[in-house]
Amino acid sequence: MLPSDDQGDRQKVTFKLPASLKANLKIRAAELRVDIQDAVAEAMSDWKAAPRAAVPPVDTAGAPPFATWLTEASTSHFKAECSERGIPYVQGLAQAVTLWLTAHPSPRHQPLDRTTRRLIVCNQKGGVGKTTVTSGLGGAFAEDAELARLAGGAFPGAAELARLTSLLAEEETETGAPAPVEADDAYEAPQLRVLIVDYDPQGHLTKQLGVKQLHADSPSLAKFMSRQVTGDIHDLIVPVDDERFGGRLDLLPSCQDAFLLDVMIAGARNRHATLEHALEPLEAHYDVIVIDCPPSLGIAMDAAIYYGRERDGEPEGESGIVIVVQAEDSSADAYTMLVSQIDDGMIDWRITTTYLGLVVNLYDARDGHVVTSSLDEWYALGEPRVIGVIPRRKEQREAARARRPLLAYDPSCAQSRVMRQIVKEISS
């Protein structure tokens, strides 16, 4: 509660506040739908009432200016209390905000009472679109159900994928207008809490979502995997801020040190379990974790394969491998090498890993017989089955240029609707 004399007119007041606290305060206030100025006023009031022994000092070195709107009474009460305690205003505000954040935990990080699904999006070949598929599936799992419905939902079932692919490829050849395709009336977006993990040292997923890569000297996923840092890996999480996802979609960004990941974990005990060790503290807070893997067959890929295994008591098909390919010969060669690594891992580690399916990306039948016959060959595999055929369209590239998730940039486009269809395929 705010003190009773804090109900007058507010005025702009400038303090200093560590950048990390400022960022967390902004995010938490948005999550809880409160004004930052109200959060700060409440924080100051609660800090003043809290036992001094319960409020540890905060590192405020280099804190930048922070402005908010407060009443003259609340400002003077706060400054008087800081003077009485013999601490600078910046220290008092940092303590107050820290106390408020602790008392108001993020609704995104409340523990769940269900098993977290783990999707490993991979292929040894680069350039097939693993990053786009990771981002698209994460968005489709987290998307608001009503907004998904208004955007046209998903395409009809898997049996229609080949026919729809031909329609999509030919939709502009004669009329210049999209081919009419009915929506899947039975589709309902899951509205799950999702973490997408940029496990690729190139950091394309991080960059495409408009987030800066973590600095090489900072804590990172690689350092948590190699046990070079301690602390809370939650601190690395960045929310994907778009109303379409309702605060349910988060990103674990890439770091520049990820190029050294194989070296960093080469000597680790049970190195194939290092990714699980790092991400395990996050699992209780997400329904789905989607991993964007590097184009590699190294130790890091071993750790991803092991992370996606079927765990004791987990329903079959909940977690597993999604392989992204293109309708061309080099994708088939890379696929063979990846499957060999996965199958060897299952034997060596005595685990079961489910192939959730193949996603054929950037498909365009107008590219000729090589492309159409390659698609037929992917279907002919039978197992793993084709769970999605994503047409080659400008929206993927435009979304990446705009630094936005595909489903937020153009939720009605064919590519977005296929992403929803893939989610339905692996959720049924």
Q: Is residue 53 part of a domain?
A: yes
Q: What CATH code is carried by the domain that includes residue 156?
A: 3.40.50.300
For residues 265 and 403, membership in a common domain is answered with yes
Is the previous residue joined to 51 through a cis bond, with omega within 30 degrees of 0?
Answer: no
For residues 190 and 150, membership in a common domain is answered with yes
- Cα four-point dihedral sign 117, 324, 140, 153: negative
How many Å apart are CA 265 and CA 227, to the nearest integer? 9
pLDDT at 332 (0 to 100): 81
Structure tokens at 259: 């190029």
How many Å apart are CA 236 and CA 250, to the nearest integer? 10
pTM flag (> 0.75):
no
For residues 215 and 86, membership in a common domain is answered with no
Indicate the residue among 105, 128, 150 that finishes a domain: 105
For residues 13 and 149, membership in a common domain is answered with no
Per-residue pLDDT of the chain (428 residues; tens, 9 = 90+): 334 344 458 899 999 998 888 888 888 887 788 899 999 999 999 999 998 877 889 989 888 999 999 999 999 999 999 999 999 999 999 999 999 998 988 776 655 556 899 999 998 877 888 999 999 999 999 999 999 999 888 876 655 555 555 555 555 444 444 455 555 557 889 999 999 999 998 999 999 999 999 988 889 999 999 999 888 899 999 999 898 998 899 999 999 888 888 888 888 888 999 999 999 999 989 999 999 998 888 899 999 999 999 998 888 899 999 999 988 878 788 889 999 999 999 999 999 999 999 999 988 888 888 888 888 888 998 889 999 999 888 998 999 999 999 999 999 998 999 999 999 999 87
Beta strands 65-71 and 10-16: pairing type? antiparallel
Which position has the token pair 């309708």?
327
How many Å apart are CA 413 and CA 301, to the nearest integer? 32
For residues 295 and 340, membership in a common domain is answered with yes
Q: Is residue 270 part of a domain?
A: yes
For residues 343 and 204, membership in a common domain is answered with yes
pLDDT at 164 (0 to 100): 54
For residues 75 and 128, membership in a common domain is answered with no
Indicate the residue among 42, 73, 105 that finishes a domain: 105
pLDDT at 5 (0 to 100): 43
For residues 99 and 121, membership in a common domain is answered with no
For residues 150 and 73, membership in a common domain is answered with no
For residues 141 and 96, membership in a common domain is answered with no
When divided into structural domains, the chain yields a total of 2
pLDDT at 217 (0 to 100): 87
Q: Is residue 373 part of a domain?
A: yes
How many Å apart are CA 133 and CA 328, to the nearest integer? 18
Query: For residue 279, with 0-12 CB atoms within 10 Å meaning exposed, 13-18 middle and 19 or more buried, which class applies?
Result: buried
Q: Is residue 110 part of a domain?
A: no
Indicate the residue among 105, 139, 159 that finishes a domain: 105
For residues 140 and 261, membership in a common domain is answered with yes
Q: Is residue 375 part of a domain?
A: yes
Cα angle 360-424-303, degrees, rounded to a multiple of 5: 65
Structure tokens at 165: 């692919």
For residues 325 and 360, membership in a common domain is answered with yes
Q: Is residue 182 part of a domain?
A: yes
Q: Is residue 111 part of a domain?
A: no
Name the 3-class secondary structure at 124. coil
The domain of 62 spans 4-105
Q: Is residue 112 part of a domain?
A: no
